[in-house]
Structure 1
């Protein structure tokens, strides 16, 4: 399974461009970015790692931003290379990182992040 469909990639890229424009805006004196709702949830089917991604870097579309949880009790906002996630081989190569095809965001990324910090893991 592809980690991202064309539709998901387009939405993530649109969000990335919107944040790049906001950061470049001289009127944005506080440097804040948009607080998007997650577009996609990726997960390790053999472990606790989960990624809720909101955007792609418009200058390097292999880099996604979102809430990253490697399953060690300290989820954090950050970036991840999609090619690295796609290269992960589990169970002797039979499995890899998967996209949750049933995921539907119910809140903004900042709310997921605050909840994850309290719980020690992403609940989505």
Structure 2
């Protein structure tokens, strides 16, 4: 009684034509091109979060710093988010620069107000 050879005992190169067992698993779960494009657009939108947050917070901080001097934390946050947007986002550079610019402007306005408060309340000598 002869035992047939197991499949892994048979040499692969038998001379018969056969298909290679590679690449078949990759084609099973491959998404359609439309799905890839939608995923890319969604990922691109998610990447612009830092620059958008920086621009919004910087605008609010700059406008608020025109009227009160204690809004400088918003301006600092706008600069931080703007720099993060510049480093991590490819397409959000304009909004990142807006965030940095409005953050710096808000810091200048807050500095003027804080200097005014210091002069009024006697912390700094007048000229």
More helix per residue: 1 or 2?
Answer: 2
Could you say which TM-score interval applies, normalised by the shorter chain?
under 0.3
TM-score by length of 2: 0.25
More strand per residue: 1 or 2?
Answer: 1
TM-score by length of 1: 0.25
Larger Rg: 2
